[in-house]
Structure 1
Amino acid sequence: MTNPRVLCLGEILYDLLADQIGRSLNEVESWTPYPGGAPANVACALVKLGTPSGFVGCVGSDEPGEALVQLLQEVGVDMRGVQRHATAPTRQVYVVRSQTGDREFAGFGEIDTTEFADTRLQATELPELLFENADFLVLGTLELAYPQSCGAIARAIQLADRHHVKILLDVNWRPTFWPDTSLAKPAIYDLLKHVDFLKLSKEEAELLFGTADAGAIAYRLDTIEGVTITDGDKGCAYCLGQNEGHVPAFSVNVADTTGAGDGFVAGFVHQLCQGGIKTLSDPEAAKRVVSYASAVGALTAMKPGAIASQPTAAEVEAFLSQHGG
């Protein structure tokens, strides 16, 4: 088995996408389940692009959990970091969609957000062997909301530091997941002390830093190696090394934005695995990395579902050729 170069730690779940677009939670008549969860999405997207990845998280000992594990195994994701909880269910989240394809997380049905299996990830059961051979650890912030999974993140950071694994954080702000949203900012700020690369949406940048200036945020964090700030159809601002710039968004027909940001993260990390972090010191190379990541995100948004819509490396290259990337 090829050891994963990238470890993606966090939630794996089913997105229940509303079949009726433009309706509120109570107005939706039917839902279609799609496999998701940002870290799981990134892990799958990386494999499809050609970078070996592993997923670290916890699922329930139930049919949805088994189906998700099977799917990621079929894609080719290393699942040695998966834990199973005997009683807590695998998470499902209801997602409503606007007429333009934008989505909003609308809740978890009758189950409290603290009761799902992903919140039970155990720090003591993280396999150190996976960290010994990895180049990157990709984290989100949702699992900071729960004591056990927050402890697992702290342990993963320790292992990453021990084995010189770079850490990328995709903030992926979802207030629905937090039992107490007042705890979110302090927890995220503490996590930022350990991060090498930071991916934010424009809204997240303004929420956490009061600005969407990538250079200003990189300067404020001091030790960070790169910041990217995505803004949907308005493109992506970045500060990578000493290079700042902006890449316009690709014009595509959007079917569903679920997983587009995760596709961006996967494209970004894939490029760093291909060319090495030192390439970011070249202004043109830095811009190409962001353009490639943006293309992966754009292609992912053109079909429904976060994993099923992810492109291969050949599809990304063809897309970039057609769009002058």
Structure 2
Amino acid sequence: MSTPISQARARRWQLLSFGDPVADIVIAASEPPALGEKVVGRPLGMLAGGTTANVACAVARLGLSSGVFGGIGDDAPGQLLQDSFAAFGVDTSHLRRTQGAASASAIVIVTPSGEKSIIYQPMDSAPLDSLQLKAALAETRVVYAMPYDLEQFDTLSATARAQGTLVAIDLERAVAPDGEAMRERVSRSDIVFFNQSGFEAGAGCAPSFDAMRALLALGPKVVVVSLGAAGAMAVTDAEQAAQAVFPARVLDTAGAGDSFNAAFLAAWLEGARLRAALAFACAAASCTVAAMGARTALPDRATVESVLARHQGRDE
């Protein structure tokens, strides 16, 4: 089992993101095209993204040390991704750059409501360097992953636990589309984040405290579900909490879930109680949706705390 958070020794990084960063080609459109149809779009540029990479940047923005374990190509998008990490202060000593390879990319269609549709093109897979992975995990308190590849994730989880490193994962419907896939991944993790559709796909029911608590029997210490405009919920063996969203002008929801997860982890790693960590996460997400791009409005700690101060006493 992993070392309890409160007992973890001092390490180089509070969080290590595992996975390749993604260059987002962002297009504004009135709505995504239906199959066989065409819509007119307006280019908004190429922006640095990728779920796990966004979390590393968000954690760094909140004042915690973070690093990235993944790969980029030697193309222009790869340079964009590396430059973005540098701007946020994310350590890239375990970010490999592969000659002749194309970086991971995504076409992101954003509607006027701020909702998005995504087509994702990953990098060509490369075998894990087990010695490099072990060295990296020995220097971090928590590794954060989106575990599409179960075999790879099994290696990551086993290596992390051998190093006393906590494992946090993000489970969307595309990652775990059924109960078996969900259980296999949850059982290898310490902190599990779902969005609502991901929870419903894996658990076969709507999110509830009872349904979330049932997943704790598989091994994780914390289960968190973000509910979009309905807020968020979280459970541990000892606590449960729900939090409403904080008012925000929504321009783009890209990165909101990543900002939420990063802020929850930042608060949790610092010893916050469940309710306080959930409120901190919802406040961070409310800041992120106010600008176009997943990382454009990632908030610093003072900004999140100012949101909390303005809405002090806000109930579930």
Q: TM-score range by the shorter chain?
A: 0.7 to 0.9
- Give the match for residue 86 of structure 1: 99
1:199 maps to 2:211: no
- Whether the 8 Å CA contact 2:116–2:253 is kept in 1: the answer is yes
- Whether the 8 Å CA contact 1:141–1:173 is kept in 2: the answer is no
Distance in 1 between residues matched to 2:62 and 2:307, nearest whole Å: 14
Question: What's the secondary structure of 1:6's corresponding residue?
Answer: strand
Quickly say closer, same or farther: Cα 1:23–1:156, change in 2 above 3 A.
closer
Alignment of 1:1-325 (within 5 A): 3-24=12-33, 26-31=38-43, 32-105=45-118, 107=119, 113=121, 116-117=123-124, 119-120=125-126, 122-124=128-130, 126-142=132-148, 144=149, 151-174=151-174, 186-211=180-205, 212-222=207-217, 223-275=219-271, 285-324=273-312
What stretches of structure 1 move > 6 A for 4+ residues in a row? none
- Whether the 8 Å CA contact 1:201–1:230 is kept in 2: the answer is yes
Moved more, 22-31 or 37-46: 22-31
Q: Which has the higher helix share?
A: 1
Distance in 2 between residues matched to 1:151 and 1:76, nearest whole Å: 31
RMSD: 2.2
- Could you tell me which amino acid in structure 1 is paired with residue 21 of structure 2? I
Moved more, 241-250 or 198-207: 241-250
Quickly say closer, same or farther: Cα 1:121–1:265, change in 2 above 3 A.
farther
Distance in 1 between residues matched to 2:216 and 2:234, nearest whole Å: 14
Structure 1, unaligned stretches of length 5 or more? 145-149, 176-180, 280-284
How many pairs are equivalent?
297
Task: State, as a whole percentage, how many aligned pairs show the same letter.
Answer: 22
TM-superposition CA deviations, 1:256-277 (whole Å, max 9, x none): 00000000111011012222xx
TM-superposition CA deviations, 1:113-170 (whole Å, max 9, x none): 46x24x336243634232112111111134x1xxxxx554333222211111111111
Question: What's the secondary structure of 1:8's corresponding residue?
Answer: strand
Distance in 2 between residues matched to 1:255 and 1:125, nearest whole Å: 43
Shift in Å at residue 324 of structure 1? 1.8
Shift in Å at residue 218 of structure 1? 2.8
- Whether the 8 Å CA contact 1:215–1:239 is kept in 2: the answer is no
Structure 2, unaligned stretches of length 5 or more? 1-10
- Could you tell me which amino acid in structure 1 is paired with residue 25 of structure 2? L
Return the TM-score normalized by structure 1: 0.84
Shift in Å at residue 188 of structure 1? 4.1
- Whether the 8 Å CA contact 1:233–1:250 is kept in 2: the answer is no
Shift in Å at residue 23 of structure 1? 4.7
TM-superposition CA deviations, 1:186-205 (whole Å, max 9, x none): 44432221111111111111
Distance in 1 between residues matched to 2:117 and 2:127, nearest whole Å: 26
- Give the match for residue 147 of structure 1: none
- Give the match for residue 8 of structure 2: none
